Amino acid sequence: MIDVLRSLECPIIAGFETTGNYHRALVWRLLEAGIELRLISSVALARTREALHNGWDKNDPKDAQVILHMLRIGLTQHYQDPLAEGLNDIQDLSKTHEVVSKAKTGILHRLQTHYLPLYFPEIERFRHNSRGEWFFAFLDRFPTPASITTLDHEAFVKAAWDVVGRKVSKARLLGDIYQTARASVGLPVPLDALAIVMFRVVVNEARRLIRQRDEIECLAHELLQDHPDYRRLRQIPGIGPINALTILAEAGDLRRFGHHRQFLKFCGLDLATHQS
């Protein structure tokens, strides 16, 4: 196809609508061949197709004609190739972090809806956030109330002291957990039961995903710590390494937007009034 385009001996502009990541290899080859690229917004394409054909149905030949029309009237966006702009590693860090975070959320939901209600329902109130590993380390060591109450209070505190990490008022926290375990309504399943073995498998998967997430966050900070835009973004309250990573991965060079409204449109956040 590139040979055919070159044989035309005239400037070539290629417009394309993105589909996941499937377009990336093709547009990279076109970019290397010196062909000018224009990004077609999926939303703009759908609206233009409806306006031109007075209908919502779509097919590839029709979309190709609409894209040609949008190229003619300039209804396109600038395309910034991640590999050419040095953003490929940043994007993959961001996307991998998303994959790991979603997997961890799925595991947590499984614990909340199956294992904890059956075997230790009261322990859930001690999990204050999803970032700390101590809660999952504790469940791995003490998955059932019986695993706690087989020890006396002092022996339990000694056994669990290092497991819960550096918690504020650790002695009081462990005391509350011990009293909670004594009054638990969890099913009296023995520790060597296959169900508890499976419980620990899921808990350890959650711990593995937390470690992976933390490693990716460290890699992101290490990669971007000298990036001036990363430093500026980190100065904004509420923006940590991953939020800053995501913004840079998705937007690239923010200076290519001449106005903040252009960036809002790029993000799909520009509001419009629909009226007759």
At 26 the three-state DSSP class reads: helix
Q: Which residue has the tokens 């002291």?
A: 161
Distance CA 178, CA 152 (A): 9
Q: What digits encode the pLDDT tens for the residues 143-194?
A: 999 999 999 999 999 999 999 988 878 999 999 999 999 999 999 999 999 9
Give the pair of three-digit tokens for residue 172. Answer: 């009081």
Q: What digits encode the pLDDT tens for the residues 98-112?
A: 999 999 999 999 999
DSSP-derived pairing of the beta strands 36-40 and 13-17: parallel
- Determine the length of the chain: 276
Distance CA 92, CA 79 (A): 18
Max distance between CA atoms of the chain, in angstroms, equals 86
Residue stretches of the chain with pLDDT short of 50: none
Whether the CB-CB separation of 189 and 119 falls below 8 Å is answered with yes
Whether the CB-CB separation of 149 and 141 falls below 8 Å is answered with no
As to burial, measured by CB atoms within 10 angstroms (0-12 exposed, 13-18 middle, 19+ buried), residue 90 is buried
| Residue 27 to residues 46, 64, 247, Cα–Cα distance (Å) | 21, 16, 23
Q: What digits encode the pLDDT tens for the residues 131-141?
A: 778 999 999 99
Task: Look up residue 201 and give its amino acid.
Answer: V
pLDDT of residue 155: 96
Distance CA 70, CA 52 (A): 11
Distance CA 270, CA 264 (A): 5
Edge-to-edge strand ranges of the sheet holding 36-40: 13-17, 36-40, 77-78
Give the pair of three-digit tokens for residue 62. Answer: 């029709």
Distance CA 233, CA 240 (A): 8
pLDDT of residue 274: 66
pLDDT of residue 272: 67
